Amino acid sequence: METTFGFYDLIETFTKPGCAVCNLLQAETTRLLDSILYEYATDTSTQAAFRDSRGLCSEHGHQLTQMGNALGIAVLYEHPLNDVLRILQGTAPGGGSQARLMTRLFPQNPNGAIIDALTPTKPCIACASQAETEARFVKILSDFADDERMTGVFRASDGLCLPHFIQVLQNTADPSRSRLLIAIQTDIWTRLRDELREFMRKNDYQHASEAITEAEGVSWRRVVARMAGERGILSSRRTIS
């Protein structure tokens, strides 16, 4: 199977702390937001996307505010704000013929029409892009799980977060690749559990004289990221069975 740039991106990113897929998504999203803010703030198609999604989601919107270019943000957000104001002015209860028509169409809730009109018709453009990028990297990891280069860096890494490990397994039909992925991830998480237990043990007064290693000292932070994903990546997409 022919390798792609994404393959080498994963190889390189596995050598860094954290879930490789999360880290790649964060880097791709930052590049996208930077491009939107500094290159496409006045682009009509970008502005249309902002209008359809009522701006960005909370996570990506606040990330955008940390990137500077206040004027670019103002230009982008003026359009969805204007749309929202037009909706409020045109559909307020008793606010004209259109509002009265909507009230007749939605008698069960006089606010039904305005709620429907205010609701975004498209997802946050950063979330949509992130989902596409995520699917691409998950597929690459599934396809190349048994490649020696991928296996080597995966074994030595912090492993995947739980949500991305589940996604990779969902995309891996080959039983031998699945077994390999499970074995590697099990070893990584076992190592983390041992470090977590040592951190707890050495915090007991009876063992306070024993030095806590660097890995043990941050194990409590790492376990949160391993179970939930790196900060800001999967916060709005966690599901339960």
Q: How far is CA 130 from CA 2, 28, 65, 127, 177, in A?
A: 24, 8, 18, 5, 25
Report CA dihedral (53, 27, 133, 166) to the nearest 10 degrees.
Answer: -110
236 vs 57: CA distance, rounded Å: 10
91 vs 65: CA distance, rounded Å: 31
- What is the structure's pLDDT at 102? 56
- The model's pTM: 0.84
Exposure letters 78-115 (e unless 16+ CB within 10 A, then b): ebbeebeeeeeebbeeeeeeebeebbeeeeeeeeebbe
For the chain, what's the residue count? 241
- What is the structure's pLDDT at 240? 46
138 in Cβ contact with 168 (< 8 Å): yes
85 vs 88: CA distance, rounded Å: 5
Residue indicated by tokens 């050598």: 15
pLDDT by 10s per residue, the chain, length 241: 667 889 999 999 999 999 999 999 999 999 999 999 999 999 999 999 999 999 999 999 999 999 989 999 999 999 999 999 998 888 655 555 555 555 565 556 667 788 888 999 999 999 999 999 999 999 999 999 999 999 999 999 999 999 999 999 999 999 999 999 999 999 999 999 999 999 999 998 888 889 999 999 999 999 999 999 998 787 555 444 4
